[in-house]
Amino acid sequence: MTRAFRFGVNMITNGDRSAAIAKVRRAEELGYDVILVPDHLGMPAPFPWLSLAAEHTSRVRLGTFVLNAGFWNPVLLARDVFTLNTFAQGRLELGLGAGYVREEFEEAGLAWPRPGERVTHLTDVVHRMRAEAAKLGQSLRIVVGGNGDRVLRLAAGHADTVAFAGLRTTPPGSAQPMEFITWDELGERVEFVRKAADGRDYESNLLVQNVSDATDSAPDVPAMLGGTHEEIAAKVRTLRDRYGITYLTVLEPNLESFAPVIKLLREQ
């Protein structure tokens, strides 16, 4: 059975209280299913922001996309997560990742762990959240996002939603710190998770970096959606039909520009 589409928007800019309230109300009005906040220095603080969003919305779910697990002690994180989930009446979706920006660890005064250590810590956090949810009798959707084998294997085995990254980090010394993955590379990652899940049911997500009406200048990669609203809707259906991706997240600057695509897909 094919899952219904879901659409999220990741809020990445700081602002005052009234601006934040206006944004979450607008997202709900436009038909988004999930309002999300990332976990980067210089961007909104996830838990205060989502607590405010919970007060001023009624239908949308709320989530982190994604928390940098390396910033968090699992026990203290559980306190914040389940308090917020209670206040949000069970609407929280906890997104988790291993953390990939070395400069943010250094700015926060934290040691920069080796990749394996970061994934091990992420695994510990996921298991702690599952255990606390069972202990408290709360329902909590867990999203695990990333691109590497160990993170995606963890997601395949334990996450409700596997969030595929449309970007990947490049080797040290590269001209750019991140690069887009291709359609073929996305297909390989999707197949890797399918095999690792071994029949376990999960939802698949993709983070879209930009939505544009331009088609000639944008690279033809999964994380960039360009064209008319109808053409973008066709690409979203391709993501579903070819790769099983039914949950798309766009960034806050695309809040308005992606909304007509949501409407088209809901009507079809």
Q: Residues 64-109: pLDDT tens digits?
A: 999 999 999 999 999 999 999 999 999 999 999 999 999 999 999 9
Query: Which two tokens mark 214?
Result: 């331009």
CA dihedral 228, 230, 234, 237 (to 10 degrees): 120
Q: What is the pTM of this model?
A: 0.96
Q: Evaluate if residue 36 carries a pLDDT over 80.
A: yes
| pLDDT > 90: percent of the chain | 91
Please, which pLDDT band fits residue 267 given cuts at 50, 70 and 90?
A: confident
pLDDT digits (tens, 9 = 90+) for 51-61: 999 999 999 99
Residue 50 identity? L
pLDDT exceeds cutoff 90 at 217: no
* pLDDT in the model for residue 216: 61
Burial class (CB in 10 A: 0-12, 13-18, 19+), 8: buried
Task: Report the SS3 class of residue 174.
Answer: coil
Please name each of the domains of the chain with its CATH number: 6-267 (3.20.20.30)
- Per DSSP, the residues of 194-213 read HHHHTT---EEEEEE-EEES
Question: Residue 215 has what DSSP assignment?
Answer: -
